[in-house]
Amino acid sequence: MSNLSRAFASPMRYIQGSGEINHLSKYCKNYGQKVLILIDSFLYDKTMKLIEPQFEDDNTMLAIRFNGECCQEEVDRIYNSLDEFSAEVLVAIGGGKTLDTVKLMAAQKNLPVIVVPTSAATDAPTSALSVLYTADGEYIKNIKHQRNADLVLLDTEIISRAPVRLLVAGMGDALATYFEAKANKESNHNNLVGSGYGMCLTAYAIAELSYKVLLRDGLNAKIAVENGVVTTALENVIEANTLMSGLGFENAGLACAHGIHAGFTALPETHKYYHGEKVAFGVLTQLVLENAEREVLDEVMSFMYEVGLPLTLAEVGVAATDKNIKIIAHTTAVDNKLIKAEPCAVTEELVFSAIKIANVLGEKYISAQGKADEQEALCN
């Protein structure tokens, strides 16, 4: 860092609770009268039943189906409707790519934005960041915006009904927050606020808390979703996945774990896996790269195994060949800047080795746990 300035960014408002989507129109009126809402395609019909009765007529709300990819082609498609409708506030309802698309449009049109995640799968909602992909789903770049969302609105009843895999993927994304914050702190690297500033103590504390919440409540939160109920553990993990992780990554920075995710996007077979699932394996790779203490590796692998996060390349659809690992390593170490925040030496060869060893460690851990489960079954 060139100076000692530090900065912290966050949404203007964050509201989380059961049934909160039923108040969407009331919240929208705080920002404008004409509301354009982008909704994930597979959620469109159910969502419209909840929100359409809240708006007076077609002149106050226009809903559009999201096509599924945060790419320039999708932004251009929606722009036409936005201008014709003369929207005053933009709303995104759905997953991370839906939210990122609306954040892109809001930034370019200088309009207020409300984001309504329908799962706790990523920390995208709270950040002033959009991840741009090609129409085919390959990572292009991160785009920073001048401000965060005006309102992040989470309906935990809706999130409790989402597939459990989404919650677990969110835990994978959140798992990286503390370890990437630690890497940035040790390397004295700039965060992601604007052109980059030093890390506030507050950001590191939030990142650390997110890790503690995951270890304490992660399994119970998963069980709650499997049974379709909202519990305190689930509320805590939703907050960790969304608010703590979002504030943590933006204000403390990203590192190897998300760099590995970018590397995975170069392999088409990984596109069907969620962001947080790939990031989770990136956490394991980062710990190997940093030569983390064995106790830390064991704690992380135990948590990942317990909640069902990928510990191996095979679990994110990648055959563990040298060719595939070299592609991931090259994209991570050469084509992406995130790994430069690491406090240790980084070369393409070292990243290749870290990926390979992380995969072997994951395979050994799964094998050992399988044998332990078999032994326990025999004893019972």
Which residues are known to be catalytic?
A: 173, 258, 261, 275
- 124 in helix, strand or coil? helix
Beta bridge partners, 119, equal none
Q: Locate 201 and state its tokens.
A: 């103590």
Q: State how far the alpha carbon of 171 is from the alpha carbons of 164, 176, 206, 218, 240, in Å.
A: 11, 9, 15, 8, 8
Rounded CA separation 13/15 (Å)? 7
φ, ψ at 33 (rounded to 5°)? -95, -30
Instruction: Give yes or no for a contact between 93 and 47, defined as CB atoms under 8 angstroms apart.
Output: yes
Q: Locate 306 and state its tokens.
A: 């317990």
What single letter denotes the amino acid at residue 328? I
Rounded CA separation 238/225 (Å)? 11
Rounded CA separation 176/290 (Å)? 14
Q: How many CB atoms lie within 10 A of CB 141?
A: 12
Rounded CA separation 333/346 (Å)? 7
Diameter of the chain measured on Cα atoms: 69
